[in-house]
Amino acid sequence: MASSLKLAALTAALFSCLPLASAQTAATTAPTKSQVQEAMKSQLLAPPEGFNWQLYKNVVFLKPAAWKAREMTQDLAGVAMSTYATSPEDFSRTQHFELGATIELISGSQRIRGIPAKRFVLGYLKPIVDKHKAEDVLMFEQKSQGDVEQTFFRYRDAPPGLVPVIVHKFIIANNATDRVNVFTFESPVETWDDNWAKYGTPIISKLNLLPHVPSE
């Protein structure tokens, strides 16, 4: 995962924003969302034209400036999942978009269900794999190092009556933090190449994970 943000420098900047009285507890206290946003201004390069830097939970990412956005929380097999979705289209919980990006944070699978984050990813992907033919799977790769595993999964989705789309998922599972981050970009098949180059690549390649989830 490429990164324009030096996490060590960002973390130092975040904690430098904390009040002096909190210095002794800074190592264990997550910065607030406003403190992270202020630190971002000084640590991040200017976003590419047409994009803004966005903070959601523990993720800093590029959002197309004109795209709409929605947030929601839900229960996934008893584990909390927070979702941020953005698209140029009108969409809702029941009306899905054809072009857009989604960021999901799944936390506590080990603590709540006794399932390590890496193994939880398999349960997350299984329903998707089961609904698609082998020829619809365009990419499946995994890289593991210590407690962290990265999964790259791309597939063609063409439910009856809907526009065929290509869905690309980049998943980071961290057993140590008990978190799974899922980054999804999707686009109609016929415009995939252009949309992946214009939107998908900047969004996915410039993702940055913070060591803590900022408090509100």
* pLDDT winner (highest mean) among 13-22, 40-49, 79-88: 79-88
Pairing of strands 100-107, 79-87: antiparallel
Q: Is position 2 within any domain? A: no
Of 27-31, 36-40, 156-160, 184-188, the poorest mean pLDDT is in 27-31
Write the burial class of residue 152 (CB in 10 Å: 0-12 exposed, 13-18 middle, 19+ buried): middle
Position 90 scores a pLDDT of 93
Predicted confidence band of residue 29 (pLDDT cuts 50, 70, 90): low
What is the maximal distance between C-alpha atoms in the chain? 60
Q: What's the confidence (pLDDT) of residue 4?
A: 37
Q: Do residues 187 and 196 touch, judged by C-beta distance below 8 A?
A: yes
pLDDT, position 20:
38
Whether residue 197 has pLDDT greater than 70? yes
| Percentage above 90 pLDDT, the chain | 67
Side-chain half-sphere CA neighbours of 29 within 13 A: 16
Inside any domain, residue 144: yes
Give domain status of residue 189, yes or no.
Answer: yes
Q: Which two tokens stand for residue 155?
A: 């597939």
- Global pTM reads 0.84
Question: Please, which residues bridge with residue 52 across strands?
Answer: 63
| Within-domain flag for 86 | yes
- Does a structural domain hold residue 214? no
Q: What is the mean pLDDT of the chain?
A: 86
End-to-end alpha carbon distance in the chain: 27
Task: Give the Cα separation of 49 and 109 in Å (integer).
Answer: 38
Non-local CB neighbours of 192 within 8 Å, separated by 6+ positions: 166
147 found inside a domain = yes
State pLDDT tens for residues 55-100.
999 899 999 999 999 999 988 888 999 999 999 999 988 888 999 9
Q: pLDDT category, 212, cuts 50, 70, 90?
A: confident
In a domain, 53, yes or no: yes
Q: Could you tell me what percent of the chain has a pLDDT over 70?
A: 85
CATH code for the domain in which residue 75 is found: 3.40.1000.10
Q: Residue 71: which domain range? A: 7-209
Instruction: For residue 192, tell me if it sits in a domain.
Output: yes
**pLDDT score at 23:** 37
Number of domains in the chain: 1
Report pLDDT for 28: 53
Please tell me the predicted confidence (pLDDT) of residue 100.
Answer: 98
The per-residue pLDDT for 7 is: 47
